[in-house]
Amino acid sequence: MSYFEGSNPIRQRMIEDMTMRRLSPKTQIGYIRGVKKLATFLKRSPEDATAEELRQFQLALAEQGTSNITINATLSGLTFL
């Protein structure tokens, strides 16, 4: 199980914040997917990720061939964390 699944209180707070801002369900799913990827990358909860860890995550996405659009959407999703 990922560090960011199920009834995780941080995940729930993120969903509430996105709902308050009236983000579409599709956008919310994408943002949550991005945070799950970060949690997997860190091998822990992403809630206290450092700026350097976020930079390394972004670099890893780029090295994997992730498109700029997907990287930017992922980083946008992390703002709700």
Every domain of the chain and the residues it spans = 9-79
Q: Is 72 exposed, middle or buried (0-12, 13-18, 19+ CB in 10 A)?
A: exposed
- The pLDDT score that the predictor gives to residue 10 is 85
- The pLDDT score that the predictor gives to residue 1 is 47
Instruction: Give domain 9-79's CATH number out of 3.90.1150.10, 1.10.150.130, 3.40.50.300, 1.10.3720.10.
Output: 1.10.150.130
Q: Using only C-alpha atoms, what is the Rg of the chain?
A: 12
- The pLDDT score that the predictor gives to residue 3 is 60
pTM over 0.85: no
Continuous segment of H or E residues that includes residue 22: none
What is the C-alpha separation between 32 and 5, in angstroms, rounded? 9
pLDDT of the chain along its 81 residues, tens only?
A: 456 666 788 888 999 999 999 999 999 999 999 999 999 999 998 888 999 999 999 999 999 999 999 999 898 888 878
